[in-house]
Amino acid sequence: IAGITQAPTSQILAAGRRMTLRCTQDMRHNAMYWYRQDLGLGLRLIHYSNTAGTTGKGEVPDGYSVSRANTDDFPLTLASAVPSQTSVYFCASSATVLGTDTQYFGPGTRLTVL
């Protein structure tokens, strides 16, 4: 069982380009999340999804969009990347829709926007 996989592992991107970060889980978890990690700030929630077909905004959603077409996949899209979106991005999942379950994290994607 892989748990959560993220792709790519790292990426360097020119400002203004569109980028989709992929996240797949094989645990049949209902809820999924995207966080960004910046030095000294811990992790901050970008978007979440309670179940397939639903999404919600987190603390820092501007400049990002998500979709949840099925249980396993939760891609994060940057429509027009800016340098302030340089960060490490983590995808996470939790078992139920309650929102208070333990969240398990993927290995992360390191994104640099120049």
Partner 1 sequence: AQKVTQAQTEISVVEKEDVTLDCVYETRDTTYYLFWYKQPPSGELVFLIRRNSFDEQNEISGRYSWNFQKSTSSFNFTITASQVVDSAVYFCALISSGSARQLTFGSGTQLTVLP
Interface positions with partner 1 (CB under 8 A):
31, 33, 40-45, 48, 50, 56, 58-59, 88, 90, 92, 99-100, 102-108
Please, which residue, 12 or 41, has the CB nearer to partner 1? Answer: 41
- Decide: residue 66, CB within 10 A, 0-12 exposed, 13-18 middle, 19+ buried: buried
Please, which residue, 83 or 99, has the CB nearer to partner 1? Answer: 99
Compute the least distance from the CB of residue 88 to partner 1, in Å. 7
Closest CA to 76 of 63, 93, 87: 63
Compute the least distance from the CB of residue 7 to partner 1, in Å. 15
Please, which residue, 17 or 57, has the CB nearer to partner 1? Answer: 57
Tokens (6 digits) for 102:
């333990």
- CA pair distance 56, 113, nearest whole angstrom: 25
3-state secondary structure of 71: coil
